[in-house]
C-alpha cells in the first residue's frame, strides 16, 4: 500500500519535461531576438530577455502553489474563479491601458497584466464544471446554449477590447463539446460553413452559392435513401445563400482594412503577381519577413544568436508573436521541426491523460487545456509560416510576456494537479 | 471517433507544419550564402590592379579610378526617376532597360546599372546617392595605358561575363577580369584580393555594425606588379615597321626564352578598350573581318614555313648520318624525282651544292635530296617519317609551345600515321611527300614557333619555353620557364648549319647578302611561301608570303627572330629587311641602315591586300 503522500504527488513528468523544454528553448530564442549587441547582463530589466527570466522565476513559484493546493479546490471554486476573471475583463473598460489599439492591459507599477490570458483557464474550469454537473446533458440544445454562453461572455468582452485574435481562441471549446457528445451534425455544419466562407471570398458569392445548392440537391436526390420533404434542401440552400452574402458583407463592411488585407493576401485574392508581391511586402510586411527569416535558416540554421535577420530586427514583434521565425532562422529545419514535435507531443500527452481521467470534470478540463494549446499552436505557427492569415496571438510557453506565460502555466498545471489526484478520487 | 477528432487534427496539423518547414527551409530554401543575405551589406574594396612594366622598367600599364552605379533590384524603393535620370544623364528608357536587365540577372545580387561615371558626374551623384535605396556607387580601377603599343601582348580587362561568375565565385557582376594577353594569363597575380566588409543592416536599411565583429571580412590585398619580357622600344619599333603591312614579328632572347617583342599587324591602340567606349570599340575591331586587328598573327597565323625549314632538314639529315658537310649534289635548276620524272624547281642558279652553299643559296634540290635520304634510310617510310617527325618536334614545332599567353595554334608536323591516313591504299614514299623538304607540303608553323626554332639553333640544341613574364613582384616566375628543352640533334651538327645560315648574309650569293648589318654577325634564312585562297570558289594564288628567320650575334646570340609578312613576296624583300632592322635596333639601340628603314616605313602593302577583293583579275609576285 502506497502512502497517501506519494499518491498525492504522482505527477506526470512527461508533460512537465515537455513544458520545461518549451519554456527553456523559448527563453533562448527570446534572448536572441531581443538582444541587441553584446549581452552585458542576463538580468537586464530593461530588456525582454531579462524580464522573461524573472517571469520564468515567478512561474516556478506559481507551479509550487498550484500543486500545493488541494485538487478539489479547482472544481469547487471554478465558478468563483470564472466570475473573478469576468470582472477583471469588465474592469478593463474602466482601468485598462491601451497598447497598440487594444485595451487589454492593467498597468500595475511598471508591470502590465493581460487578464484575457488568465480568462482562458478560468473559462476552461467553468466549462468543465458546468458540463460535469450531473444535471447537464450536453446533447440537449438548452444545455448547449448555456455552455456556449459561458464561453461567449469572455469572448465577447475580449472582442470589445479590440483583441480579435484572442477571441478566436475560444473556438477551441468546440473540440471539448464534440468530445462530450454534441451531435455530429455540428461538425459537418461547422466544416461546411468554413468551406463556404473561404469559397465565397476566393471564388465569389454567386459561384459559391450555386455550388452549395448543387451539392445539397445532388445529395437530396441521389444519396438519401428515404427522401424527405423537398423543403429541406431548399431551406439549406437558402441558408447557404444568406450565409455567403453575410460573409461577403462581413468581410467588406465589418472587418477593418488591415484584417481584410491579411485575408486578401492569404487567399491570394489579388491576381496580379507583382501587386501581390507588393502587398506581401508592404501590407503583410511581418509575414513576408518572417517567412524569409525562416527559409534563410535552411536545414541546420545559422546558429544561436547568429541569425542575421534576427540581429537586424527584420521581423517586428519577433520576440512575441513571431518568435517562431527566430527558431526557424537560427535553428533551421531541425530545430523548428523539433518545436513542432514537442508541441504535438505535449498536446497528445494531455489528451491521453484526459481520457484516463475518472472524473468528468478533470476530463473536460483536460480537453479544454489540450484544445486551447492546440488552437494557439495552430494559429501562431500557421501564421508565422504564412499558412493562415495573420492573427496575433502568442505561442504558448515560447513567446515573450508574463501574462501569457503565467496564463498557460496555470492552465497546464491545474490539469497536472488534477491528473496527479485522479488516484485519490472515488 | 469522438475521442480521435482532436488527436488526429493535432497530428495532421503537426505534419502540415513540418511539411511547410521542409518546403520553406529545405526545398525552396537555398543553402545559406552570406553574399545573398540582404540583411548583410557587402562593401567591396577593389584593390589596385598590378602594374605592368617592360623589361627595362618602363611603366606600360597603370590604373585609373572608375565609378559604376550599381543596383540591387529588390532593395530599390520608389524614387524620383526624373531626378535620378538627370543626375546620371540618361533617358527614362535607358533607366527602364538597365533596371530590367539587372532584375533579369538577379533581383538579389548587385548588377552594374551604369558603368564608368565621369569624375564630375560622380562628384554630383555621390552626395545624393543616399536618397536612392538599392543603388550605390562602386569604385573600381580601370587600366590606364602609358603607351599605345603592345595591345596584343597586354590584352585588356572587361566585365566578367555570367559564365565566369557562375564558375568562379570570386567574381561578381560588374567585376573586371583579364580577357586577353597578360591580363588574362596573369589575372590571379594582377587582380590581388578583393576586400569585403560585411555589415549587419536592420530593416530600415541602416548599418548597425560589423557582422560578427568583422570576423568574416576579407582584407583587400593589392595586385602584384609584373614585369614582362617585352622591350617596349623594340616593340614600338617593330610596330612602326609593320605599319601598312600584315603579319607578325616574334623576337626571343635565346638564353632565357623571354619574348622580346611580339608584334602583330595591323594592331590597335590599347586605350581603345578602356572605359565607356570599350564595348563599342571592341565591336568595331571585332567586326573588321578584313584586317582582323584582334588576331595576334605572331601567335595564331599558321603558315607553311618555307625555306627556313631547310635548316631543320639539314640538321635531321646530319643527325641521321645520311649526309655530311662534304655531301654534294649538282643542281640543274631543280630536282627530278619519281617515275614520271617530276621536277621540283630551284632558283639557286644551279651548280654544285654542298651543305654550306645549299643553305646560303637556298637550293631546293640539295634539301630534296637530304630529305629523301633521311626517309629512305629506313625500309619503312612510315617508321622513317616518325623518326624525322620526332626530330622536328623536338624544336617545339607541331604542338603548343606552352608559353604564357592564352592563345596559340599547334601547327602541323606530319608523321607516318598522318600519311597512312592520307594515302590509305597507296604505298607512299619520300618522293610523295618531298615538298616537306623545302617547308611546303603539310608542314605548318606559327611565327612564334619559328622564332623558337631559331632560338634552339642559336643555343646549339636547346631552348627555353618562350614566355612573356620576366618578374612577378613578391613571387617567382613558373619553374617551367627555367627548364632547358633539348632537341634530339647532337650539338656538333649545329656548327655547319649555323655556318650556312651565317653565309646567307656573308657569302656573295647568299640570299640575304644585301641585308647585312655592319658590326653584327647575323645568321638567318629567307623564306617564301606560296599561298592560295578561294575567290568565288576558284582557287587563286596570291602573292607569296615573305618570311625571314634569324638570330644574332652568331657566337653569343642575344636575339632570335621570326618575321612573317603576308603577301610580301620573297623572303628578303620585307621580312628580311624588317628582321635586320629589328636586330640592329635591339643590339645597337639605334638603326644605321637608314635607307632600308625609310623604304620599309614608307612602302605600304595595302594595295596588295585589296587585290583579292577588287573583283578584277590581278597579277601576283610583282
Quick check: is A62 in a domain?
no
Domain match, A110 and A169 both: yes
- List residues bridging with B549 in a β-sheet: B525, B562
- Crossing angle of helices B594-602 and B577-588, rounded to 10°: 130
Interface test with A, best of B22, B25, B108, B207 (most A CBs within 10 A): B25
Q: For residue A330, give how far its alpha carbon lies from the nearest alpha carbon of chain B (Å).
A: 11
Low-confidence ranges of chain A (pLDDT < 70): 1-9, 37, 225, 227, 280-282, 423-426
Nearest residue, CB atoms, A378 vs list B13, B39, B40: B13
Residue contact B200–A312, C-beta within 8 A: yes
Burial class (CB in 10 A: 0-12, 13-18, 19+), B383: middle
Low-confidence ranges of chain B (pLDDT < 50): none
pLDDT of B273-316, one tens digit each? Answer: 888 888 889 999 999 888 889 999 999 999 999 999 999 999 99
Interface of B with A (CB under 8 A): 2-3, 5-7, 9-11, 13-14, 16-18, 20-22, 24-26, 28-32, 34, 37, 39-40, 200-203, 208-209, 211-212
Instruction: Please give the residue of chain A at the shortest CA–CA distance from B28.
Output: A295
Domain match, A336 and A406 both: yes
List the end-to-end C-alpha distance of chain B, in Å, as a whole number: 108
Residue contact A298–B28, C-beta within 8 A: no
Residue contact B2–A181, C-beta within 8 A: yes
Q: Give the pLDDT score at A206.
A: 86
Q: Give the pLDDT score at A354.
A: 94
State whether CATH 3.10.20.740 applies to domain B232-613: no
Residue contact A333–B31, C-beta within 8 A: no
Quick check: is A296 in a domain?
yes
Q: Give the pLDDT score at B153.
A: 93
Quick check: is A12 in a domain?
no
Query: Could you tell me if A230 lies within 8 Å of chain B, comparing CB atoms?
Result: no
Residues 287-346 of chain A whose Cβ lies under 8 A from any Cβ of chain B: 289, 291, 294-299, 302, 306, 308-309, 311-314, 316, 328, 332-333, 336-337, 340-341, 343-344
Quick check: is A376 in a domain?
yes
Domain match, A247 and A288 both: no
Q: For residue B115, give how far its alpha carbon lies from the nearest alpha carbon of chain A (Å).
A: 28
Domain match, A404 and A294 both: yes
CA geometry: angle at B491 spanning B487 and B496, to 5°?
115
Give the DSSP letter string of B342-365. EEEE--S--EEE-HHHHHHTT-HH
Interface test with B, best of A294, A308, A357, A368 (most B CBs within 10 A): A308
Query: Which residues in B lie closer than 8 A to residue A337 (C-beta atoms)?
Result: 18, 21-22
Q: Give the pLDDT score at A4.
A: 45
Query: Which residues in A lie closer than 8 A to residue B40 (C-beta atoms)?
Result: 308
Domain match, A347 and A378 both: yes
Interface test with A, best of B3, B8, B9, B39 (most A CBs within 10 A): B39
What percentage of chain B reaches a pLDDT higher than 90? 52
pLDDT of B429-474, one tens digit each? Answer: 888 899 999 998 899 999 999 999 999 999 999 999 999 999 998 8
Q: Which three cell numbers stand for residue B98?
A: 538597365
Quick check: is A69 in a domain?
no
pLDDT of A148-165, one tens digit each? Answer: 999 999 999 999 988 888
Q: Give the pLDDT score at B570.
A: 87
Residues 6+ apart with CB under 8 A from B504: B359, B360, B362, B510, B511, B512, B513, B523, B524, B525, B526
**DSSP at A255:** S
Gap between the Cα atoms of B394 and B396, Å rounded: 5
Q: Give the pLDDT score at A426.
A: 47
Domain match, A124 and A249 both: no
Q: Give the pLDDT score at A287.
A: 82
Which stretch of DSSP H or E encloses residue B524?
strand B523-535
Q: For residue A92, give how far its alpha carbon lies from the nearest alpha carbon of chain B (Å).
A: 33
- Check: CB of residue B548 under 8 Å from CB of residue B562: yes
Domain match, A208 and A242 both: yes
Domain match, A119 and A146 both: yes
Number of folded domains that form chain A: 2
Residues 6+ apart with CB under 8 A from B134: B71, B72, B73, B74, B75, B76, B77
pLDDT of A383-415, one tens digit each? Answer: 999 888 888 899 999 999 899 999 999 999 999
Quick check: is A91 in a domain?
yes
Quick check: do B40-76+85-228 and B232-613 share a fold?
no
Nearest residue, CB atoms, B32 vs list A298, A367, A377: A298
Gap between the Cα atoms of B192 and B171, Å rounded: 12
Gap between the Cα atoms of A277 and A425, Å rounded: 59
- Check: CB of residue B426 under 8 Å from CB of residue B524: no
Gap between the Cα atoms of B430 and B456, Å rounded: 26
Q: For residue A339, give how far its alpha carbon lies from the nearest alpha carbon of chain B (Å).
A: 10
Q: Give the pLDDT score at A373.
A: 96
Residue contact A332–B25, C-beta within 8 A: yes
Gap between the Cα atoms of A114 and A393, Å rounded: 12
ipTM of the complex: 0.92
Query: Could you tell me if A348 lies within 8 Å of chain B, comparing CB atoms?
Result: yes
Instruction: Please give the residue of chain B at the shortest CA–CA distance from A325.
Output: B21
Domain match, A317 and A417 both: yes
Nearest residue, CB atoms, B3 vs list A179, A294, A377: A179
Q: Please name the residue that has the C-alpha cell 578584277.
A: B616
- Check: CB of residue A325 under 8 Å from CB of residue A384: yes
Nearest residue, CB atoms, B25 vs list A175, A299, A348: A299
Instruction: Please give the residue of chain A at the shortest CA–CA distance from B200.
Output: A312
The domain segmentation of chain B, as residue ranges, is 40-76+85-228, 232-613
Domain match, A314 and A417 both: yes
CATH code at B40-76+85-228: 3.90.1310.10
Domain match, A149 and A287 both: yes
Domain match, A118 and A219 both: no
Q: Which domain covers residue A209, as residue numbers? A: 189-254
Quick check: is A49 in a domain?
no
* Residue in A76, A183, A66, A69 with CA at minimum distance from that of residue A128: A76
Residue contact B21–A179, C-beta within 8 A: no
Sequence length of chain A is 426
Amino acid at each position: 500500500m502506497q502512502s497517501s503522500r506519494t499518491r498525492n504527488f504522482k505527477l506526470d513528468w512527461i508533460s512537465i519535461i515537455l513544458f520545461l523544454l518549451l519554456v527553456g528553448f523559448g527563453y533562448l530564442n527570446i534572448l536572441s531576438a531581443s538582444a541587441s549587441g553584446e549581452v552585458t547582463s542576463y538580468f537586464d530589466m530593461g530588456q525582454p530577455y531579462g524580464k522573461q527570466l524573472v517571469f520564468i522565476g515567478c512561474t516556478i513559484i506559481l507551479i509550487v502553489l498550484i500543486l500545493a493546493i488541494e485538487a478539489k479546490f479547482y472544481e469547487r471554486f471554478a465558478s468563483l474563479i470564472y466570475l473573478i476573471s469576468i470582472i477583471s475583463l469588465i474592469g478593463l473598460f474602466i482601468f485598462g491601458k491601451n497598447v497598440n489599439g487594444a485595451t487589454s492591459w492593467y498597468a500595475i507599477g511598471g508591470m502590465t497584466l493581460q487578464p484575457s490570458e488568465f480568462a482562458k483557464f478560468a473559462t476552461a474550469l467553468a466549462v468543465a464544471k458546468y458540463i460535469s454537473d450531473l444535471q447537464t446533458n450536453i446533447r440537449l440544445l438548452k444545455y448547449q446554449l448555456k455552455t456556449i454562453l459561458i464561453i461567449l461572455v469572455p469572448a465577447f468582452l475580449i472582442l470589445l477590447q479590440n483583441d480579435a485574435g484572442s477571441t478566436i481562441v475560444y473556438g477551441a471549446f468546440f473540440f471539448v463539446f464534440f468530445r462530450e457528445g454534441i451531435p455530429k451534425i455540428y461538425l459537418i455544419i461547422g466544416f461546411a460553413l468554413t468551406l463556404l466562407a473561404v469559397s465565397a471570398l476566393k471564388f465569389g458569392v454567386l459561384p459559391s452559392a450555386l455550388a452549395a445548392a448543387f451539392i445539397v440537391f445532388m445529395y437530396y436526390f441521389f444519396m438519401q435513401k428515404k427522401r424527405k420533404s423537398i423543403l429541406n434542401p431548399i431551406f439549406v440552400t437558402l441558408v447557404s445563400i444568406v450565409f455567403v452574402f453575410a460573409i461577403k458583407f462581413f468581410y467588406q463592411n465589418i472587418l477593418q482594412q488591415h484584417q481584410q488585407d491579411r485575408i486578401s493576401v492569404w487567399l491570394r485574392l489579388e491576381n496580379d503577381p507583382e501587386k501581390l508581391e507588393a502587398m506581401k511586402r508592404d501590407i503583410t510586411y511581418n509575414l513576408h519577413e518572417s517567412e524569409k527569416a525562416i527559409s534563410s535558416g535552411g536545414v541546420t540554421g545559422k546558429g544561436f544568436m547568429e541569425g542575421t535577420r534576427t540581429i537586424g530586427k527584420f521581423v517586428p514583434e519577433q520576440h512575441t508573436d513571431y518568435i517562431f521565425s527566430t527558431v526557424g532562422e537560427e535553428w533551421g529545419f531541425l530545430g523548428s521541426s523539433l518545436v513542432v514535435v514537442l508541441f504535438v507531443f505535449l498536446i497528445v500527452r494531455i489528451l491521453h491523460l484526459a481520457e484516463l481521467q475518472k472524473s468528468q470534470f478533470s476530463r473536460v478540463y483536460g480537453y479544454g487545456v489540450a484544445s486551447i494549446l492546440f488552437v494557439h499552436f495552430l494559429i501562431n505557427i500557421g501564421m508565422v509560416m504564412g499558412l493562415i492569415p495573420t492573427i496575433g496571438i502568442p505561442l504558448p510557453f515560447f513567446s515573450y510576456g508574463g501574462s501569457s506565460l503565467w496564463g498557460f502555466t496555470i492552465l497546464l498545471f491545474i490539469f497536472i494537479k488534477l491528473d496527479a489526484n485522479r488516484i485519490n478520487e472515488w | 471517433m469522438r475521442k480521435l477528432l482532436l488527436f488526429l487534427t493535432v497530428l495532421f496539423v503537426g505534419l502540415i507544419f513540418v511539411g511547410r518547414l521542409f518546403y520553406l527551409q529545405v526545398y525552396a530554401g537555398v543553402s545559406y550564402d552570406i553574399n545573398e543575405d540582404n540583411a548583410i551589406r557587402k562593401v567591396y574594396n577593389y584593390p589596385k590592379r598590378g602594374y605592368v612594366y617592360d623589361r627595362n622598367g618602363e611603366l606600360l600599364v597603370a590604373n585609373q579610378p572608375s565609378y559604376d552605379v550599381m543596383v540591387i533590384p529588390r532593395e530599390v524603393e520608389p524614387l524620383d526617376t526624373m531626378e535620378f535620370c538627370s543626375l546620371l544623364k540618361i533617358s527614362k528608357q535607358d533607366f527602364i532597360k538597365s533596371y530590367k536587365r539587372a532584375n533579369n540577372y538577379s533581383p538579389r545580387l548587385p548588377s552594374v546599372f551604369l558603368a564608368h561615371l565621369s569624375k564630375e558626374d560622380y562628384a554630383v551623384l555621390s552626395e545624393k546617392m543616399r536618397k536612392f535605396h538599392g543603388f550605390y556607387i562602386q569604385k573600381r580601377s580601370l587600366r590606364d595605358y602609358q603607351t599605345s603599343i603592345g595591345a596584343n601582348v597586354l590584352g585588356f580587362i572587361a566585365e566578367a561575363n555570367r559564365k565566369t561568375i557562375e564558375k568562379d565565385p570570386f567574381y561578381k557582376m560588374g567585376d573586371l577580369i583579364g580577357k586577353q594577353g597578360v591580363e588574362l594569363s596573369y589575372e590571379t597575380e594582377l587582380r590581388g584580393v578583393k576586400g569585403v566588409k560585411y555589415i549587419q543592416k536592420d530593416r530600415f536599411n541602416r548599418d548597425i555594425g560589423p557582422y560578427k565583429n568583422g570576423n568574416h571580412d576579407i582584407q583587400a590585398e593589392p595586385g602584384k606588379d609584373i614585369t614582362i619580357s617585352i622591350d617596349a622600344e623594340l616593340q614600338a619599333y617593330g610596330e612602326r615597321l609593320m605599319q601598312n603591312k600584315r603579319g607578325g614579328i616574334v623576337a626571343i632572347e635565346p638564353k632565357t626564352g623571354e619574348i622580346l617583342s611580339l608584334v602583330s599587324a595591323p594592331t590597335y591602340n590599347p586605350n581603345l578598350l578602356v572605359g565607356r567606349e570599350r564595348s563599342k570599340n571592341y565591336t568595331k575591331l571585332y567586326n573588321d573581318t578584313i584586317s582582323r586587328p584582334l588576331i595576334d598573327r605572331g601567335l595564331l597565323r599558321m603558315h607553311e614555313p618555307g625555306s627556313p625549314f631547310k635548316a631543320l632538314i639539314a640538321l635531321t639529315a646530319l643527325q641521321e648520318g645520311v649526309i655530311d658537310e662534304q655531301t654534294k649534289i649538282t643542281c640543274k635548276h631543280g630536282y627530278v624525282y619519281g617515275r614520271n620524272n617530276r621536277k621540283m624547281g630551284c632558283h639557286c642558279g644551279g651548280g654544285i651544292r654542298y651543305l654550306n652553299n645549299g643553305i646560303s643559296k637556298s637550293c631546293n634540290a640539295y634539301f630534296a635530296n637530304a630529305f629523301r635520304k633521311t626517309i629512305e634510310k629506313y625500309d619503312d617510310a612510315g617508321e622513317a617519317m616518325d623518326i624525322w617527325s620526332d626530330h622536328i618536334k623536338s624544336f617545339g614545332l607541331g604542338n603548343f609551345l606552352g608559353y604564357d599567353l592564352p592563345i596559340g595554334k599547334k601547327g602541323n608536323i606530319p608523321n607516318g600515321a598522318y600519311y597512312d591516313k592520307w594515302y590509305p591504299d597507296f604505298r607512299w614514299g619520300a618522293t610523295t611527300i618531298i615538298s616537306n623538304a623545302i617547308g611546303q607540303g603539310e608542314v605548318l608553323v606559327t611565327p612564334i614557333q619559328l622564332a623558337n626554332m631559331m632560338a634552339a639553333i642559336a643555343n646549339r640544341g636547346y631552348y627555353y619555353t618562350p614566355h612573356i613574364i620576366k618578374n612577378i613582384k613578391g613571387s617567382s616566375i613558373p619553374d617551367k620557364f627555367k627548364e632547358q628543352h633539348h632537341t634530339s640533334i647532337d650539338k656538333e651538327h649545329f656548327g655547319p648549319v649555323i655556318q650556312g645560315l651565317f653565309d646567307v648574309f656573308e657569302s656573295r650569293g647568299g640570299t640575304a647578302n644585301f641585308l647585312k648589318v655592319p658590326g653584327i654577325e647575323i645568321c638567318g634564312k629567307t623564306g617564301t611561301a606560296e599561298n592560295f585562297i578561294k575567290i568565288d570558289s576558284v582557287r587563286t594564288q596570291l602573292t607569296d608570303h615573305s618570311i625571314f628567320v634569324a638570330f644574332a650575334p652568331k657566337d653569343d646570340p642575344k636575339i632570335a627572330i621570326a618575321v612573317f609578312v603576308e603577301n610580301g613576296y620573297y623572303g628578303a624583300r620585307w621580312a628580311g629587311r624588317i628582321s635586320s632592322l629589328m636586330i640592329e635596333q635591339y643590339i645597337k639601340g639605334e638603326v644605321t641602315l637608314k635607307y632600308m628603314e625609310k623604304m620599309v616605313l614608307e612602302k605600304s602593302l595595302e594595295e596588295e591586300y585589296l587585290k583579292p577583293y577588287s573583283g578584277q583579275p590581278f597579277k601576283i609576285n610583282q
